[in-house]
Chains A and B, each alone.
Chain A
Amino acid sequence: MNDRLALLVKVNGELHEALASPAATLLEVLRDQLSLTGTKRGCNHGVCGACTVLIDGKLARSCLALAADVGEREVTTVEGVADGVSCSAVQRALIESGAIQCGFCTPGFVMALTYLFASDPRPNRETIRAALSGNLCRCSGYVKIVEAAERIAEARV
């Protein structure tokens, strides 16, 4: 469209330039312009959680964030949680607990769990389940995902 904006977005510590319509969502810019396809498009209206990212450290549905409104804030995606090593503790726990089947929901759960453990080092099962209440998984029945989170909580003294 003719009314494209030149946007600067900070994603995973790097400043990116993107040319996007003012109505473009952060999800679209991440996937289509920046080729960061780890964040998934599920329902595209905020219910499924597959598009979850962090904006200035807070959970956000990237499908409900207008790219033009992100501004100076810092975006973290699943590609950015490992912070230099190959996998974060959250990612490792999901892998080792058998919590990943088709994997489409996994990036969203990684972000939700990353936020959880950044704000609460030893959550109990109820807290974990509440923290994950915005992420849908059609394969697993959630049991292994919750177990993975409990393993992380137990490992922290």
Chain B
Amino acid sequence: MEFFSPTSLEEAYRALSADEAQCLAGGQSLVAMMNLGLVSPRRLVSLRKIESLRGITRQSDGSVRIGAMTTHAELANLDLPGAPASLLANAACVVAYPAVRMQGTLGGSIAHADPAADYPVVLTAARASVEIGSPLGPRLTSASDFFRGVFETALQHGEIVTAVVLPSPEVGAGAAYEKLSLVAGDFAIVSVAAIVAETARIAIGGCSPKPMFASDIDLTDDAILIVGKRIAMDSDPPSDQRASAAYRRRVVPELIRRAVRAAQASA
């Protein structure tokens, strides 16, 4: 295996153009897979020294640009007002364990696109965008278009996630992230991110290859239950060592209810 540690994005793109070249961000998913014999990249390109991938900036339109190499720990401490930012911070708090949060990154996590991970759900609910960099320049993709399936994203070979852009804060909106897992730090069995203003919009994870989404939900018990049942019926959850598909379908309406009510309470 070859190891490259470029100091600029241009250098990184050149290194990534080789066959079977992969990016190394925090390594919390990739190196684990290497240790388990699931992947053996021919070339690894570390992003650690690329300064332009770090930093969190408020842009003139109120949106927030978060560098891809921002760690979960840094996100958990994000002190930005408003619904999308608080949702992302809540999710970052429950990713894995403290040691993993201090090294793992936002960009690395979303490029990996584990269907049971936290960010795909949260970024879909937040209507965030993913900034993808390539030698041809950056492009912006909505989160819902970025996450395509199980470990599948819109990234083409040689491209790098350079940032995530959160939309400007929604006045008066509340947000909550409900994660059902067997033990703290584990991947979600089912998770729901909710943003609530006059109505609710939700994203659901663990029930399908990519996050499910529903919006314009009235805040009555009945409306929430109807959406919950519809999501359960439309979902295509896996059966795995954590839970059966039937169990996931059974719990998702309640988790949706909890997320929406918690988001209301946080407004």
Contacts and interface: CB of A to CB of B under 8 A. Distances in A.
Question: Are A and B in contact, CB atoms below 8 Å, in the complex?
Answer: yes
A3 B1 contact: yes
A45 B3 contact: no
A45 B31 CA distance: 8
Interface in A34-91: 44-46, 49, 52, 55, 58-61, 63-66, 68-69, 71
Interface stretch (B91-99, B109-117, B211-219): B91-99
A66 B44 contact: yes
B5 interface: yes
A3 B2 CA distance: 8
A134 B96 contact: yes
Contacts of A60: 99, 102-103
Contact of B28 (A21, A23, A46, A49): A46
Interface in A1-57: 3, 5, 21-23, 25, 44-46, 49, 52, 55
Contacts of A49: 97, 99
B40, B44, B99 pick with most chain A CB within 10 angstroms: B99
Given A45-B35, A64-B27, A71-B5, A59 B48 contact: no
B265 interface: no
Contacts of B1: 3, 21-23
A78 B97 CA distance: 19
Contacts of B3: 5, 22, 66, 68-69
30 contacts: A3-B2, A22-B1, A22-B2, A23-B34, A23-B44, A44-B35, A44-B36, A45-B35, A45-B36, A46-B28, A55-B103, A59-B99, A59-B103, A60-B103, A61-B99, A63-B32, A64-B27, A64-B28, A66-B3, A66-B27, A66-B46, A68-B5, A69-B5, A69-B24, A69-B27, A112-B98, A133-B97, A133-B98, A133-B184, A134-B185
